[in-house]
Amino acid sequence: MANTYTEIHIQFVFAVKRRDGLIHSSFKNELYQYITGIIKNHNHKLLAINGMSDHIHIFIGMRPTQSISDLLQDIKGNSSKWINEKKFLKVKFEWQEGYGAFSYSKSQVNSVINYIKNQEQHHTAKSFREEYLEFLKLYEVEYDERYIFKDPI
């Protein structure tokens, strides 16, 4: 689009179905590379990707040529299909329905990148659910408790 200039930074957060810890270190980096490829193929810029065995954070510079929902459908659908085709797991892999999408200003980019890079350290003190609820409260997102990611049983 000629004469279209944007600076859009979005962090996506989503979980493995039932919050099962299925993202193993044995294929985690390959998964992140695969997701990076999807993002780049849509001409977005990956700024950071990391997570834990039960959830993922993706931070991108987003182009206005695609909707957030279309991008996330592509990332989640194709990455789960890829994990299953590669047979990394003995069970079927699925992402939990839904996601969080949070926007940031240019001045916040480095802080968000560092936050995502340090997920392992961050989650020694805080559960994913606690983290996610903090995001929703910080951004004043109204939510229905019935649809919040549950802690595994």
Q: Residue 130's pLDDT is what?
A: 86
Q: Residue 94's pLDDT is what?
A: 96
In a domain, 2, yes or no: no
Q: Residue 1's pLDDT is what?
A: 58
Number of other residues whose CB lies within 10 A of the CB of residue 44: 19
In a domain, 82, yes or no: yes
Sequence-ordered list of residues with C-beta below 8 angstroms from that of 55, at least 6 positions apart, any chain:
13, 14, 15, 16, 19, 128, 149
CA of residue 94 relative to chain centroid, distance: 14
Number of other residues whose CB lies within 10 A of the CB of residue 75: 21
In a domain, 4, yes or no: no
Residue 51 maps to which CATH number? 3.30.70.1290
In a domain, 53, yes or no: yes
In a domain, 131, yes or no: yes
Sheet holding 45-52, edge to edge: 45-52, 55-61, 9-15, 100-104
In a domain, 26, yes or no: yes
Name the amino acid, one letter, at 138. Answer: L
CA neighbor of 15 nearest in space, from 131, 143, 142: 131
Number of other residues whose CB lies within 10 A of the CB of residue 98: 13
User: Residue 139 belongs to what domain range?
Assistant: 9-147
The number of domains in the chain is 1
Q: Residue 147's pLDDT is what?
A: 73
In a domain, 152, yes or no: no
Please list the pLDDT of the chain residue by residue as tens digits (153 residues): 577 888 999 999 999 998 889 999 999 999 999 999 999 999 999 999 999 999 999 999 999 999 999 999 999 999 999 999 999 999 999 999 889 999 999 999 999 999 999 988 878 888 888 888 888 998 899 988 777 766 655
